[in-house]
Amino acid sequence: MDQRSPTWALSDATSPTARHAATALPYADEVMSETVEPSIIVDVWVVSDGSQEEFMDALVGVFERVSALEGFVGGGILKGVDPTAFVSYATMRSASERDAAFMDSEVTAMMRAIGGIARPTPHSYTIARRFTPAASAEAGD
């Protein structure tokens, strides 16, 4: 599986859902295969200096909406030492729930609005290996 697949990529690039996502979010040009494993979404954001507060307000709104949808496990926003650098991450229970969340009309509208403030470099991941304080385990163990 290609671990570089972007946030908004869908299971079947020819499906109506995939075409809608590609239209709504034009950088959805790669496909992540369907998985029953958690889907971890990581976006690296570059925000214009002076727009950080507006960006944070908008991204918090996205998280508030996505967290109310089926499949949301958790997430967060990291602020870089460079005040224009941010990273957001979210875990969804599955790729299909991730896809559904980003097809939500409210989420789509919010992401379009953020597109006027900042540009993401999105990626989706699955767990390759987990670590806990006591031990480590292979994914799925």
Q: What is the pLDDT of residue 24?
A: 42
User: In sequence order, what E strands does the chain have?
Assistant: 39-47, 72-79, 85-92, 118-125, 129-131, 136-138
Confidence of residue 67 (pLDDT cuts 50, 70, 90): very high
Please name which of 97, 125, 122 lies closest in space to residue 25, comparing C-alpha atoms: 122
Task: State the angle between helix axes of 16-24 and 95-103 in degrees (0 to 180), rounded to the nearest 10.
Answer: 60
The model's pTM: 0.69
Instruction: For domain 16-127, say whether CATH 3.40.190.10 is its number.
Output: no
Q: What is the pLDDT of residue 42?
A: 94
Interval 7-34: pLDDT, tens: 333 333 333 333 334 334 433 444 444 5
* Domain residue ranges of the chain, discontinuous segments joined by +: 16-127
pLDDT over threshold 80, residue 1:
no
- Percent of the chain having pLDDT more than 70? 70
Average pLDDT over residues 67-71: 96
- Check residue 15 and report its DSSP letter: S
Q: What is the pLDDT of residue 36?
A: 74
